A and B are shown apart, each in its own frame.
Chain A
Amino acid sequence: MDQSSAQTTAHNSDPRQAWPSPGLTRVPYRVFQKDETYEKEQGRIFQGPLWHYLCMEIEIPVGGDFRTTKVGDAPVVVSRDHDGEIYAFENRCAHRGALICLDTHGKGRKDFSCVYHAWTYDTKGNLIGVAFKDGVKGKGGMPETFKMEDHNPRKLRVATINGLVFGSFSEEVPPIEEYLGDEILSRIERVLGRRKPVIIGRYTQVLPNNWKLYMENVKDSYHASILHLFFTTFELNRLSQKGAIIVDASGGHHVSYSQIDPDAGKSEEYAKQQLRSESEYKLADPSLLQGFDDYGDGVTLQILSVFPTFVLQQIQNAIAVRQIVPRGVARTDLNWTYLAFADDTPEQRMVRLKQANLVGPAGYISMEDGCVGGFVQRGIAGASNEEAVLEMGGALAESSESRVTEASVRGFWKAYRTHMGI
């Protein structure tokens, strides 16, 4: 063992946790495979000082409205209290741990009562009632030392940005504006600011892979025009188009966007590579792609991710948020919420319904993302000691005018390693 690797081993008390190199261009496959990594993520990522998407504000518009969701493994109730504010708390009774709320969503709640022993919580998540607290006929009951205020489910900090509700189990999490930074904030504002969104559909895609493989895929602008033939052939996303990648300073958040450049002809690079993307393909009903300029800026695609597990998507007029929820080492829920806007004309709404075909579990351009993570998970099954290579576009995790880069994937690992301490 040479000196430098000896130091590395000494630095990482557990050699299984050691990263193979100090740079960002290698990812050991074992991080997608190991139970101990998954468990550590639950504490450091999902209950650490980060913000996690919970729901849309419009899903709980009035006092008494609630939705249940998950932050990593932890079930969470998001509730609009009668004071008008949004609260979030762990969906776990402080008594014996049963779910407090069994419904996915609802309205008109005054309180939440655990079915097991009827411990009752207000819509802020405070324990307000314990059945038979004082016993029956002077017998039984809780001791006098028992104080209800000492027994609440864990509460999350809550922040909203342009109608997106985020929560964090950590008291140390920075304010969300600081967490996201100005560039990411302005790109969220671009899609959702000053408009009233409406929900037009919700689906869950169950991915046969580790959650990080999906997040890598979201941040990977290199694959988009190669794996997704539909996208490329209709010039929705050619790497030679105008566009760029924004990677924030933490590395964890990113934006990839593109604008159709009507002057750009067929790129020679594509022809040279003889990629599948060059094949001929015509639509029988081209109305699918006849959209409108939603934002007046000619940007036809903007994929934005917030570390660790949130995506805001504009693909032409298909607007959606995606929430990524790990369900085990090799299983992930991808929750799609399709959006429209209250001021859409009927024609614009129809465009959104048609362009929803581009995304989701049967999406012309996202179907592959549902299975490609599984191809990796299966491909690496016997290769825990091998590594992925992330050298496209160099070794850094910084913004780039070229999208032929893995910069934002490297950024993901930069942020991940910071939070995991590896």
Chain B
Amino acid sequence: MDAYRLIVQAQSDYIRCIDDDRLEEWPDHFHGNCKYVVTSAANYREGLEAGIIFANSRGMLQDRVSALRDANIYERQSYRHILGPPAILSESGAEVRTETPFLVARILQDGDTDLFATGRYLDLYRIEDSRAKLQERIVVCDSSRIDTLLALPL
């Protein structure tokens, strides 16, 4: 199967896992020594490294899920991710760099639905055993403003 199709499949699986509230499966979309950062366009442009979320291991992603499930307090909510098609930026062996635009609507328990975030995924996929997994995902939100809080991952 070609890389493009594997990546489209991986991205669809990724957003369905979050939007369907199967967060425990979310870290499986990453390699063990992965990097996952949620930042903003302004911070990214200026080279400011601190993210809204910053993880450099799959363990940290698992901890994010445990904290959301067991520790943090926030109102029940869900996302609906809508992705544009990924642009392949470069390919080198099993590694593929892509950029993918996203829109995320947030639905609160009372039904209020807002456009919560827009931006792009800057991804480095590594394909192993016919599966594209994330070595790196930098979530660059277009805005630096976050309404109330960012609980579920983007």
Chain A partners chain B = yes
Q: A201-B48, A362-B149, A362-B150 are in contact. Are A371 and B43 (CB under 8 A)?
A: no
A315 interface residue (CB < 8 Å to B)? no
Q: A202-B42, A204-B146 are in contact. Are A281 and B70 (CB under 8 A)?
A: yes
B11 interface residue (CB < 8 Å to A)? no
Which residues does chain A contribute within 8 Å of B51, judged by CB atoms?
A: 201, 353, 356
Q: Tell me the interface secondary structure of chain B in the complex.
A: mixed
Is A200 touching B146 in the complex (CB atoms < 8 A)?
A: no
Q: For window 329-372 of chain A, which residues contact chain B by CB distance below 8 Å?
A: 333, 338, 340, 349-350, 352-354, 356-357, 360-362, 364, 367-368, 370-372
* B149 contact from A204, A350, A356, A371, Cβ within 8 A: A371
* B148 contact from A208, A285, A356, A364, Cβ within 8 A: A208
* B67 contact from A350, A364, A370, Cβ within 8 A: A364
Determine how close the nearest CB of chain A comes to the CB of B24; give it in whole angstroms: 12
**CA A206 – CA B73 in complex, angstroms?**
17
Q: A285-B63, A362-B53, A364-B72 are in contact. Are A202 and B146 (CB under 8 A)?
A: no
Is B62 touching A284 in the complex (CB atoms < 8 A)?
A: yes
Chain B contact-residue range equals: 35 or more
Q: For window 30-88 of chain B, which residues contact chain A by CB distance below 8 Å?
A: 38-40, 42-43, 48-57, 59-60, 62-64, 66-67, 70-75
**CA A201 – CA B43 in complex, angstroms?**
6
Q: A285-B60, A356-B54 are in contact. Are A205 and B146 (CB under 8 A)?
A: yes
Which residues does chain A contribute within 8 Å of B150, judged by CB atoms?
A: 361-362, 367
* A362 contact from B38, B43, B48, B71, Cβ within 8 A: B38
A413 interface residue (CB < 8 Å to B)? no
**CA A209 – CA B80 in complex, angstroms?**
26
Is B63 touching A361 in the complex (CB atoms < 8 A)?
A: no
Which residues does chain A contribute within 8 Å of B149, judged by CB atoms?
A: 205, 361-362, 367, 370-371
Is A361 touching B146 in the complex (CB atoms < 8 A)?
A: yes
Which residues does chain A contribute within 8 Å of B66, judged by CB atoms?
A: 281, 283-284
Q: A279-B70, A367-B151 are in contact. Are A200 and B50 (CB under 8 A)?
A: yes
Is A201 touching B39 in the complex (CB atoms < 8 A)?
A: yes
Which residues does chain A contribute within 8 Å of B50, judged by CB atoms?
A: 200-201, 338, 340, 352-353, 356
B20 interface residue (CB < 8 Å to A)? no
Determine how close the nearest CB of chain A comes to the CB of B110; give it in whole angstroms: 10
Closest-by-CB residue of A relative to B65 is A284
Q: A285-B59, A285-B60 are in contact. Are A204 and B144 (CB under 8 A)?
A: yes
CB-CB nearest 3 A-B residue pairs: A285-B59, A201-B50, A284-B59
Name 13 extra pairs, CB < 8 A, besides A288-B60, A361-B146, A371-B73: A200-B50, A201-B49, A202-B42, A203-B144, A206-B148, A208-B148, A227-B73, A285-B59, A356-B50, A361-B148, A362-B149, A364-B67, A364-B72
